[in-house]
Structure 1
Amino acid sequence: MNFVRNLTLRQLQIFVVAARHLSYARAAEELHLTPPAVSMQLKQLEDNVGLPLFERMGRGVALTGAGELLVHHALRILGEIKDAEASLQALNGAESGQISVGLVSTAKYFMPRLLAKFAHQHPGVDVQFSVGNRQALLQKLQDNAIDLAIMGRIPQEIDAHGEPMACHPYVLIAPADHPLRDARRFEMHELRHETFLLREEGSGSRRVAEEMFKNHLFTPARTISMGSNETIKQAVMAGMGVSLLSLHTLPLELKTHALCLLDVVGTPIERTWYVVNMSAKRLMPAAAKFRAFLLDETAPALIQEFDHHLLNLERQPCPYDVGGKG
């Protein structure tokens, strides 16, 4: 198989976007092309490869085995080219370039404001971010598809470097009229009849909740799994049950008193936010500057926005002492 000499970067770019959306029409929309143009480029790529990369699945498409294999190589090729471009820009000493940042879903509630602040201070730098689950971000780090990832645990599965940037408290939330809303420091046992609404298996929030149950020797009367923080919040407000969620997912609900925080012994549960990059990756000046910005700015921003909601709760020591940075 000798398709490299006929391969074009444009074909790889189109292929990666089509693989992400699994839709020629949505890929065409993102790339500002027509669907026939996308289809033609992908057909030429498949002819060069000599194998089908997509297969029809009802009204959509899915990657074939060859497509799954090629997408990771394509991401790495495009990532290397992006790094080369950034390196050349760095030689000019210009504060410019592009940064790709991956966020776990919980971080999407506060990171856009920090990204906007950085963009205002550094208008020549283009910061792009994407949201995905932990496993998706780990794959993107390995594929060199993102420069940095924001997540709640340093990955052990890959050779990555993580640095703590802020405390990350998890709180027990309940409907605004919950009978225990004003109770102080009561035991988890008081919630033995409650339904606990949990994130899906494998999520960071689910893991923290299960650790909480184990530490309290507590078994909920009933649990219901839900696929997003938004669904859980709406269900709690509707009176379906209680939940353990990141405080940082609750800015609007706490401001409007749409739900309440329960003062259960052992909560808030303190975790840490990390900024992560591959150990072998050399961060370009713009990405290194953004990383330094996050380490300096994230903790003060989160403390200012959220910590006043915890004044009536007895907090445990945070594993990351934000005061130690200054």
Structure 2
Amino acid sequence: MCEAPDAVNFIRSLTLRQLQIFVIASRCPSFARAAEELHLTQPAVSMQIRQLEEAIGLPLFERVARRLALTEAGERLSHHASRILGEIKDAEDAMMSLTQADSGSIAVSIVSSATYFAPKLLALYSQQYPKVDVHFSVGNRETLLRLLQDNATDLAIMGRPPPELGTTAEPLAYHPHVIVAPLSHPLRHAHGFDLQELAGDTFLLREPGSGTRMVAEHVFRQNLFVPARSVTLGSNETIKQAVMAGMGVSLISLHTLGLELRTGEIAVLEVNGTPVERTWQLVHARSKQLSPTCLAFRRFLLEHAEPFLEREFAPFGLRRPRRLAEADGTR
């Protein structure tokens, strides 16, 4: 067993490139996936991680069910490495503030439900500002809260974060959640029935830590509702496929359903109290100094997100209620 290295020598032996590789690898299921994201070979990634582990004297990764997982040492280093890289990014942005807002880079994090529209908005932005390099990452709500806390992202598109996190959240767009079912469901054509009518159904839920799961649990508590059975699935795509296959029903973001509703492959049930009214939020750390590039991107999202989503989902008749728009001050 190797002896723990001297703390000063350990810090001096680290390189920014090693920290960058480690942070990316810590968010990937394998070194092969990290290598793809970093545009490196898998052996190069493995070598850098091995050198980092040798410098620390502790293993950073272990394999759990054929996937990479962080050890306790890896978890702690991930937190500090993200903060270090975030501070360096802030320093770069501060220097960039002396130049124009049509160049530089932006780090954007989005919850998985936003992957169905955010890339289209990013593409529109890139057409207007081709010199800006936009990096975006995807995770559940819990992951994004950690990225914000670690100063590892500039902006996040998600639901409202907890107030104690120290963030600024701005309403971005109306975000309805609906209950979906297979086309064969006996209540497919029913109008205005209570959630209790679905007590015998299997509810398909996202994993703990996701915003969609939190919305479902809130609705259940509000209605004193307990489904006969629930199944946890790890992604919106898996849930939609399971619903269409007849495994059960689910409460899910309307904005994940564009394709299925256009092709008529899934049914939205008219349950009383739905759509559940939520709002997409544009979030950044309150202590973060946004660069001119980030400020320009923020303005772009605040101006274009809601009109874009309303155009996309207007055919389904689920528009943002006027009272919700007035409450958020966005109309």
The question of a shared fold, defined as TM-score above 0.5 by the shorter chain, is answered with: yes
Aligned pair partner of 2:215 in 192, 197, 208: 208
TM-superposed CA distance for 1:67, in Å, is 2.7
Q: What's 1:219 paired with?
A: 226
Distance 1:178 1:283, change over 3 A: same
- Aligned amino acid, residue 280 of structure 1: S
Q: How many residues align?
A: 323
- Aligned amino acid, residue 249 of structure 1: T
Asked if the contact 2:142/2:209 (under 8 Å) is kept, the reply is no
TM-superposed CA distance for 1:25, in Å, is 3.8
- Aligned amino acid, residue 8 of structure 2: N
Q: Which moved more, 1:291-300 or 1:70-79?
A: 70-79
Between the aligned residues of both structures, percent identity stands at: 57
TM-superposed CA distance for 1:16, in Å, is 2.1
Asked if the contact 2:174/2:279 (under 8 Å) is kept, the reply is yes
User: How does the TM-score come out when normalised to structure 1?
Assistant: 0.88
Asked if the contact 1:18/1:27 (under 8 Å) is kept, the reply is yes
Asked if the contact 2:203/2:230 (under 8 Å) is kept, the reply is yes
- Cα distance in 1 for partners of 2:29, 2:239 equals 28
Q: Which structure 1 residue ranges, 5 or more long, are not aligned?
A: none
- Cα distance in 1 for partners of 2:43, 2:224 equals 59
Distance 1:175 1:31, change over 3 A: closer
Which deviations, in whole Å up to 9, do the C-alpha atoms of 1:120-159 show, x marking residues without a partner? 1111111111111111111111222111111112323411
Distance 1:178 1:288, change over 3 A: same
Asked if the contact 1:173/1:242 (under 8 Å) is kept, the reply is yes
Asked if the contact 1:102/1:146 (under 8 Å) is kept, the reply is yes
Aligned pair partner of 1:91 in 55, 73, 98: 98
Query: Secondary structure of the residue that 2:191 maps to in structure 1?
Result: coil
Query: Secondary structure of the residue that 2:73 maps to in structure 1?
Result: helix
Are residue 2 (structure 1) and residue 18 (structure 2) matched? no
Distance 1:56 1:189, change over 3 A: closer
Q: Which structure 2 residue ranges, 5 or more long, are not aligned?
A: 1-6
User: How does the TM-score come out when normalised to structure 2?
Assistant: 0.87
Are residue 301 (structure 1) and residue 304 (structure 2) matched? no
Q: What's 1:325 paired with?
A: 330
Q: What's 1:54 paired with?
A: 60
Distance 1:42 1:242, change over 3 A: closer
- Aligned amino acid, residue 205 of structure 1: T
Query: Secondary structure of the residue that 1:95 maps to in structure 2?
Result: coil
Which deviations, in whole Å up to 9, do the C-alpha atoms of 1:33-71 show, x marking residues without a partner? 34443344334434444x224355377654333332222
Q: What's 2:251 paired with?
A: 244
Query: Secondary structure of the residue that 1:293 maps to in structure 2?
Result: helix
Q: What's 1:149 paired with?
A: 156
